[in-house]
Structure formats: structure tokens, C-alpha cells
């Protein structure tokens, strides 16, 4: 058994014992070592465990980040079982996010994105808006998806594509308020599209 495999076994034992705080501390080291050794399979497994550990500790943002990386690696490797397990965990993260008490707007990625864009920090605003969009998609929340896309529309070069995507989400939701919000944003940005007629 290699040192890496031994590290993985120890991390697995921590997860099995429910020692998620300790697991969350050692797993990034395993992932880093696996990456350096070219062990993409172990990287994906370590990131999946890390996402699970963060989920159990209610650190949903870190869980999403770890699972997003794990999904990318598992997809590249064509590991269907791994992809399915990661997908289940991402759904669990989304479900837990919906159960949580809604944080104050400035504590959310969407609120921070809007604040950054208001301050002229386009790079941070774009990154936070993308994070907010992913969170909304995981939670299957059309309202927040539309709001995140409209925030992205404020980033130079993203207006037209983001507004059209927001319009599609709003149309599917059958929410008149969302459709109206997208129509207003489109007019302000000079983007032409045919809004849904109720």
C-alpha cells in the first residue's frame, strides 16, 4: 500500500466514524498529494469526501466548491458511479440550503455580487454572481437564478447572453414578477427579446 493509499484509508476511517471536522482538515492534504502524484481518481474521491464532510458541518459554500471540482475530475475520467454519488451530494447541499434560515442579503453571494458591482469591482462581482447562480441552480430556485443572471448582465460583455438566459428561466417559472424584472433589465441594457405574454 502506498503512502497515498494509506492517507486515503485514514481519511475514510475518519468519515466512517463521523469525525467530519478532522476529515475536513486532512482531506485537502490528501487531494494536494494525489494531484501532485497524478492520481486524478484519488483527487476526485478526496474532493467528494471533503464535500461530504463540509456538508455534515453545514459549511455549504465549501461543500459546493469541493463537489464542483470533484464533478469536473470525475466527468473527465468518465467515472459514472462517482458522478452519480457527487450529484446526490450536490442535491443534498441544495436541499439543506433551502431548509436553512435565509441569511441577510449582504451575507449571500448574490448580495455580495451586487455590492461589488455597485462598487465597480467587476471581477469580484462576476465571480460572486456565478457562485450565486450555481447555488440557485442547486437549490432549484428560479427567482434567485434570474436575479443572479441579471447581476451577471451588469458585467461588460455578458448582458445579452445573461438576459436571454434569465428570460428563459423566468418564462419556465410562470412568475409574472420575474418576467417583468427581466423585461426591465433588457430595456435598460438595450437587449431585444420578446417577453412572455400572460
| Rounded Cα–Cα distance for residues 195 and 171 (Å) | 8
Confidence (pLDDT) at 100: 54
Confidence (pLDDT) at 120: 84
pLDDT digits (tens, 9 = 90+) for 144-155: 999 999 999 989
Given a cut of 70, the residues of the chain with pLDDT beneath it are 1-2, 98-107, 193-198
Confidence (pLDDT) at 137: 92
CB 64 within 8 A of CB 135: yes
Confidence (pLDDT) at 194: 58
Render the burial of 131-142: b for 16+ CB within 10 Å, e for the rest.
Answer: bbbbbbbbbebb
Confidence (pLDDT) at 1: 47
Which of helix, strand or coil describes residue 100? coil
pTM (2 decimals)? 0.52
Burial class of residue 43, CB neighbours in 10 A (0-12, 13-18, 19+): buried
pLDDT digits (tens, 9 = 90+) for 98-124: 655 444 455 688 888 888 888 888 999
Q: HEC states along 36-55?
A: HCCCHHHHHHHHHHHHHHHH
| Rounded Cα–Cα distance for residues 130 and 145 (Å) | 10
Amino acid at each position: 500500500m502506498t503512502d497515498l493509499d494509506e492517507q486515503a484509508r485514514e481519511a475514510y476511517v475518519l468519515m466512517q466514524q463521523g469525525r467530519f471536522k478532522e476529515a475536513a482538515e486532512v482531506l485537502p492534504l490528501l487531494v494536494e498529494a494525489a494531484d501532485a502524484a497524478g492520481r486524478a481518481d484519488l483527487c476526485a474521491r478526496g474532493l467528494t469526501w471533503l464535500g461530504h464532510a463540509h456538508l455534515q458541518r453545514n459549511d455549504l459554500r465549501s461543500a459546493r466548491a469541493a463537489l464542483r471540482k470533484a464533478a469536473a475530475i470525475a466527468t473527465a475520467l468518465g467515472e459514472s458511479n462517482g458522478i452519480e454519488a457527487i450529484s446526490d451530494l450536490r442535491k443534498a447541499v441544495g436541499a439543506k440550503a433551502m431548509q436553512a434560515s435565509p441569511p441577510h442579503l449582504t451575507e449571500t453571494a448574490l448580495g455580495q455580487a451586487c455590492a461589488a458591482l455597485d462598487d465597480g469591482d467587476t471581477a469580484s462581482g462576476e465571480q460572486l454572481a456565478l457562485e450565486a447562480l450555481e447555488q440557485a441552480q442547486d437549490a432549484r430556485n428560479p427567482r434567485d437564478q434570474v436575479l443572479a443572471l441579471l447581476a451577471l448582465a451588469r458585467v461588460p460583455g455578458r448582458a445579452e447572453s445573461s438576459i436571454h438566459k434569465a428570460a428563459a428561466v423566468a418564462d419556465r417559472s410562470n412568475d409574472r414578477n420575474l418576467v417583468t424584472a427581466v423585461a426591465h433589465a433588457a430595456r435598460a441594457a438595450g437587449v431585444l427579446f420578446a417577453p412572455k405574454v400572460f
